Amino acid sequence: MTIREAQAAVDAWISRFEEGYWPPLANLARLVEEVGELARELNHRYGSKPKKPDEHEADLALELADILFVLIALANEQHIDLEAAFEQVLAKYRARDAQRWTER
């Protein structure tokens, strides 16, 4: 699935409902909540905060996908072509960081 296809899939899902897209600040709050869930899981796995005995291990892939969904929703609501923007960001990194690390 391309980024454009993902944006279309999120739009198709959200467009099914009368409420439609949430306002930008509500989506930002959702994004922060989702990033917090990822941070909590990573802290349990690799940090100094062990899980409680009754807590289950979260699926990192699904936590990342939740973040991606909200990012796409925010981009869609703002009429941003994430695929084009991501290509620009990759070009920026290629130019800026080309000599920063040792290539394989």
The residues of the chain scoring below 70 in pLDDT are none
**In the prediction, which pLDDT does 51 show?**
87
Residue whose C-alpha is closest to residue 50's, from 65, 59, 40? 40
User: pLDDT (tens digit, 9 = 90+) per residue, 48-78?
Assistant: 888 888 888 899 999 999 999 999 999 999 9
| Distance between CA atoms of residues 35 and 29, nearest Å | 10
**In the prediction, which pLDDT does 99 show?**
84
**In the prediction, which pLDDT does 69 show?**
98
Domain architecture of the chain: domains with CATH = 3-96 (1.10.287.1080)
**In the prediction, which pLDDT does 15 show?**
97
